[in-house]
Amino acid sequence: MNNPLYLNGRFPAVNFQELDEVPGVRTVAVHLTPAVAKRLLERNVHNRKISEKVILKYIAEIKAGEWRLTPGGIGFDDQGALVDGQHRLHAIVRSNQTVPLLVTLGLPCTSQEKVDRQRRRSLFDAFFVSGIATQRQEVEIATCLTRRMLRSDSGVVPSDALVKQTLDCHLEHIRRVIALMKGDNKSRRGLSQASFLAAAVLYHEIAPEKCAEFLLGIRTGEMLTQDHPAMRLRKLLLGETSLTSMPRGGANQSYIFRRSIFAMQAHLEGRNIAGLREQDDFNAPRGTRRPQLKLMTAAA
């Protein structure tokens, strides 16, 4: 049946023509050009303040070829004013690329009150539905690795496309590190921080057996001297080290990541440490490969 309002396939058939239509409202899928998007923004006369972060994320998706046609598009009320989609329009204009988009016309003016007021899908939700990730921690670690790749300490959320690329690049080692930290299945607050686990992923790429040994020490604390790198880091992660200058937010992730790298580097070299310092990356010993994060940085 060649009818766009008739749903068939492997599910029971549904014919939407049997239902009463909402008069005056229409949705059409178009390839929206930057020129038309710019004209449509002239109708953005009553909206919330734009978020530069959101616009940049959309631009990154467009330029990475990750833009998809979804039920979320742009909408106009019955007076022709834009009620939803200003960030998408700004991204199309600034990326200077044509993209597929749903456009809804004739919405009631009051519909703007309900735009984006319900629960939105997280990045994990999106990756889980598409089969890219199986658990939330995988996405959290990949996001932290992407921030390190961008050298971002401000907590800025990287684009979905970059996180997806990072997840694909590191997924095998991410899953191995998560499995190694489960151990006796006892959850210990502090030892599941994404910034620490992100550093462990890079360590695992260099020396899997040494990393497994280090993570066992982090998890149990058994048979470790006080100046052992795993013990020093374990105390920091569990909050047993008194630090008055501990940063917060995105800066805290960077703080934990860099100290984790320092402790893991010391363990890799077989030396004890008197305290934790910051280190941005591993110095892989001769004959071992560097973490893939360096390759991604160069590619990006």
Question: Which pLDDT does position 254 carry in this prediction?
Answer: 87
What pLDDT, on the 0 to 100 scale, is given for residue 183? 66
What pLDDT shows up at residue 184? 57
Question: Do 135 and 266 belong to one domain?
Answer: yes
251: pLDDT confidence band, cut at 50, 70 and 90?
Answer: low
Residues in Cβ contact with 141 at an 8 Å cutoff, skipping those fewer than 6 apart? 170, 174, 177, 178, 194, 197, 198, 201
* Domain extent at residue 37: 23-109
For the chain, counts of helices (H) and of strands (E): 11, 6
One domain, residues 150 and 292:
yes
pLDDT of residue 130: 75
Mean pLDDT across the chain: 85
Stronger pLDDT, 239 or 187, i.e. the higher one = 239
Name the domain boundary from 58, 79, 109.
109
Examine residue 118 and state whether it is found in any structural domain, yes or no: no
The stretch 137-143 carries a mean pLDDT of 94
Out of 51, 74, 109, pick the residue that ends a domain.
109
Q: Tell me the mean pLDDT in the region 158-171.
A: 90
pTM of the predicted structure, to 2 decimals:
0.65
Q: How far apart are CA 59 and CA 92, in angstroms?
A: 7
Which among 243, 238, 229 has a CA at the least distance from the CA of 276?
229
8-state DSSP, 6:
E
The rounded Cα 204 to chain-centroid distance in angstroms is 21
The answer to whether residue 1 sits within a structural domain is: no
Considering the domain architecture, whether residues 77 and 171 belong to the same structural domain is answered as no
Question: 47, 79, 109 — which closes off a domain?
Answer: 109
Whether pLDDT at 196 is above 70: yes
| pLDDT 10s digits, 258-283 | 999 999 999 999 999 999 999 988 98
